[in-house]
Every structure is written in structure tokens, then in C-alpha cells.
Structure 1
Amino acid sequence: MAENRPETMANSTAPRFVVSYSANPQPQPLVVKLKWSNIYESESETEEQFSGLTAETPVDWAVELRRRIAANLQWLVEKTVRSSIYRSSYWRERCFGLTAETLVGRTVELDHVSGTYGRSRPTPFLCLALKMLQMQPDRETVVGFISNEEHRYLRALGAFYLRLTGAGADVRRYLEPLSNDHREIRERISDEEFMLTGYFIDELLTQDSCCDIVLPRI
């Protein structure tokens, strides 16, 4: 069987696949790149999502996979990044037992954004983003974060969460007006280095990734 042979579904509205086959004739798990057609038009290749797939796995298994990710949004964060978050002291000490109300308190304590730094150390911002993906707060709560003009890091976290999980119409409705908010926030570059940016919302709307997480297409 040829390498990198594309497998597609006839229905153009269904998820599309690119399936890579190993040159080894022995049965091997497949690496499947799934492009969401409706919910998250993004690509994901985490080990736990695709372990156990074989050449006999039906292509329409993707429908079930999409349903599982919709119910477990933390899978939007790559497995290696999630693992580093779970091992961090901030996650263990500051994210345990959070509710929507206490999450606000944690967020207003933030003084910078970013993903990982140094030797894959996660920032508190990224830890709280993963916590939100676990909690899946209601829309009113997320919009409340975004609408908060006093605490810029609370707005940044709400905007980041909506960009990861929201439909394209909601992203444009709530985030595009914020592109005019150029108040500077700190972004962590390394262990000791920070930079100021006034374009965090613009990055969410125009870049392919932010804070070490691939952003869904809108």
C-alpha cells in the first residue's frame, strides 16, 4: 500500500481525512488528521485520540470522535502540553476545586499571558484556560469575562476560551469589537523575559495558534 494515501468521504460536508500508512507491512496504528467540518475546523493528532486505530477502522468513526471531543474540550490542548500543566505546582495548588466564581478571583491575579516557557513550564494563564475547558462554563459567564473592561487578563482569558470553543459567528460578534482595545498586557517569553503587547485579540483573530494551542479555523 502506498505511503500517504488520501482517504476521503464522498459526502463533501463530512469530515475529511488524510491517513498515513506505515511502510512496514505489519499492522500499525494509523495517524489520522481530522479536519472538522462543523464544530472545530481544526487539526489534532494527540496520541490518546488516535491510539488503537487500524486499517479496518471505519472512516465514519470520526463522527463519534468529534462527539467525544465536544464533550471533553480539554482535548483541544495537545497531550504533551496538558501533561506539563498537570505536573505544575500552580495547577495542583491553585486550580483544584475552582468554581466559576473562584475562577474569576484567580484570573484577576494574573499579570501576564502566554503558553509554556523554559522547559515546557506552563504559565498560570494556560493553566486557567485548561481549567475553563474542563469546567465548560455557560455562555453568559464567558461573555461576562469578555465584557469586563476593568480586568484586562480576565477579558483575555474569556476571549481565548471563546476563540477555542465558540462558533465562528460568536467569535466575530464578541471578539472583533475588542480588536480596538489595544491596552498593553504582558506576555511571557522566557524564564526572565517579558514583552508588552496590545494585540492579543488581533492574534486570536488572525493567527493559527496562540499560547501553544492550535486555534480552530473560523
Structure 2
Amino acid sequence: MLQAFFIAWLGVIAAQASPGPNMFAVAEAALGQGRRTALMVVAGINTGMLVWATGVAIGLGALFEELPVLLTALKFLGAAYLIYLAYKGLKAAITPGGSTVRAAKSRLSDIAAWRRGFLVIMTNPKAALMWSAVATFLFGMELSNAEVLAFGPLAVASGVAIYGTYALLFSTGVATRVFQRFWRIIEAMFGVAFGALGTMLFFSGARDFRP
């Protein structure tokens, strides 16, 4: 079991460390609203990660295989949410007045920041596919449902470390000063990144309808 956990964990760590919606959400929160908000986004992401881990342990991955339309629906849902975040970022970038994005954007409450992180990962079909692949591998190694379920906290631990590190790095004094100076450009870049990811997801979902 430990060997299977270690191999699966390496794959999860690689996915967590790579750029994507989760990292962008944490970085945007850290730069624009500070460390506390970013850490609440991290908490939301890791809560969602635990939900995905629990879901695939009890058969959600098999359900996606039986009903691929569910994954397609998730793609459209994820696309809509990412495009919404893109709209918020681009709107902040062109809002007149205020010397920083903190002035241009209303500050997220702790609950709202947690919800943002949770929704980012729960509407990400790549998360569904990754966790389905992890479950398939672990079940293929003849682990029980309980043992697959036990893998979840291990993945959350690395998620806390990796995304927490991003939150700390992007909320340092140097990062904040750079953001204070170039916040419109940086916020526009986040908006474009979220928009590009959302558009890619939308077209990926649209391709699922092709015969």
C-alpha cells in the first residue's frame, strides 16, 4: 500500500505544482487582497480536493466512465466559472480610480475566499480526471475502498504545502510592491489567463458532442 501511495502521490504533487486554475486563484488572491485571503482560497481548494478524493473512493470515477455526459457538463460549468473570474479580473483592470486592485475590487470575506477556492477545484474537470486516474491506479493495486479513501488526506497535505507556499510567496513585500506598481497589467494578465482556460474548457465540452 505504501508503495502505491508514494507513486500516486508523486503524480498528485506534480499536478498541484503545475500552473493552472488553482495556482492562479491563489496568486491573484495573494497579490490583490493579501495573505489571509489567499490562505482561505487555499483552504477552499484543499476542501474540494478532499471531496474529490472521497468521491472517487466511493465510485465517482466509475460514474464518469458510465455517464461521460457528466464530465461534459462539468466542463461547461468550469468554463462558465473561469470566464466569470476572467470578467472580474478584466473589469478590475479597467476600473478608474484607486491606486491598487485592493481599492478597485471589493475585499473578499473569508467565506467568499474559501468558496472561490472550493468552486475553482470542484468545477475543474482536470481534477475529476486526475482523481479518477488516481483511484483507478490505487484500485488496480488491489487497495480497498477504505485504503483509497485514506489517500485523500495525504494529497491534501501536499496541497496545503504547495498552495500555501504560493500564497506566502505571492503575498511577500516584494511581490506586493511590484503588484502595487503594475496591478492593472497583472490583473489583466490574470483575467486573460482565466479567460483562456475557460474558453479551452468550453470548446473541449463542445467537442464532446461531435459524433
Fold-level match, TM-score > 0.5?
Answer: no
* Structure with the higher strand share, 1 or 2: 1
Higher relative contact order (CA 8 A, sep 6+): 2
If the length of structure 2 is used for normalisation, what is the TM-score? 0.26
Larger Rg: 1
TM-score, length basis structure 1? 0.26
